[in-house]
Amino acid sequence: MEAMLIANMGGVEFFDPSIAEKVKASIATNAMTPTVARDFVQGLASRREEFLATVRSTLRGLADLQFTDAKIEPGSAEMAFLIPRDLFDNELGTFAKELTFINSLIRDVSEGRTGEAESVELQELSSSVPTVALAAKGVVVEAIAVIVNKFLEAWKKIEEIREIRERLAKIGMKGTALDELTAQVATTVEEVVEESTTTVLMEYNGDGGRKNELTIALTQDMHRLFGQIERGLAVEFHAEPKQGEQDEANRKALEAVSALSKQMRFPQIANEPLLLTNGEVVEGPVEGVRIFKRTTVRKSIKKETQKQTKPETKEGS
């Protein structure tokens, strides 16, 4: 999230993890003309210092104006969705659909957790990296924080599987080994989606038919949310526990949100998104997301083959 903000301020080159390698490369490339390497390093240092001076000056100005971060009220919690412009291609209509999705996600989760679809309260908006801060009940914010954290933890496993698959592909491995790894990636996502949906509906006491509808809606929500995170969406969670809080459930929820917010680490934007493409994110059913294990596919093909071959046998006889 911080990297995204720095990039939008034009300072990405000054905090690039590979900056040392770039300096070494410049020195190695210009071994016969050291002044070129010296000018490169001095130019980089000068631009970085100028950028930091601008940041410091801005911070001093904001302090003089007594401009500070908005504080949330004790006993409450909020979520901030940081939506990269690449997700909606800077188009207002598509951005509106992104907001509609976020609204649906929160309402579905709130109904699953509390039995009632909660109205989503807008707290703040910022436009550099479009950020939408929303307030909700503590138990709802906690549920979404748990969902996001489950996916971030699963993503570590997914990245490890992808790295193994890539290494095997480079050495010429083909067939079943790669297929099984691909299936494992999809299975990992499906398990998190199922677990997250079950967690949200664990204490739901509403009508059975409505519970089935919510299960379908939440499954769609999870796929969309995870697909968005994979493509750059970040969610910040803030909670302010209240001393002497009488509502035990709310107090525990806020404490959980506060703890989870400190351990979340969002993945780098994937070059080849696994879950969603642009058109699938904002509206309509999520097509082609579910990838079942090979054994399931084999069974379905076998049954279909049997159905097709039986009539042919009868005709032949």
Domain boundaries, the chain: 2-64, 76-296
Amino acid at 18: S
| Each residue's pLDDT expressed in tens, for the chain with a length of 317 residues | 455 556 666 666 777 767 777 777 777 787 777 787 788 888 888 888 887 788 777 767 656 655 445 567 888 899 999 998 888 888 888 899 999 999 999 999 999 999 999 888 898 888 778 899 999 999 999 999 999 999 998 888 888 887 887 788 778 777 777 777 778 877 888 899 999 999 999 999 989 999 999 999 999 999 989 888 888 889 999 998 888 777 888 889 999 999 998 888 887 766 555 554 443 443 444 443 333 333 333 333 333 334 444 444 444 43
Amino acid at 35: T
Q: 167-183 b/e with 16+ CB inside 10 Å = b?
A: eeeeeeeeeeeeeebbb
DSSP letters, 239-263, are: EE--TT-S-HHHHHHHHHHHHHHTT
Which residues are registered as beta bridge partners of 80? Answer: 133, 236
DSSP letters, 38-49, are: HHHHHHHHHHHH
Q: What's the CA gap between 287 and 207, in Å, rounded?
A: 28
Alpha helices in 85-137 (DSSP H): 92-114
Of 217, 214, 229, 228, nearest in space to 281 by CA = 228
* Residue 291 and residue 183 in contact, taking contact as beta carbons nearer than 8 Å: yes
- Give the global pTM: 0.66
Q: What's the CA gap between 86 and 283, in Å, rounded?
A: 16
* Residue 109 and residue 200 in contact, taking contact as beta carbons nearer than 8 Å: yes
pLDDT value for 287 = 40
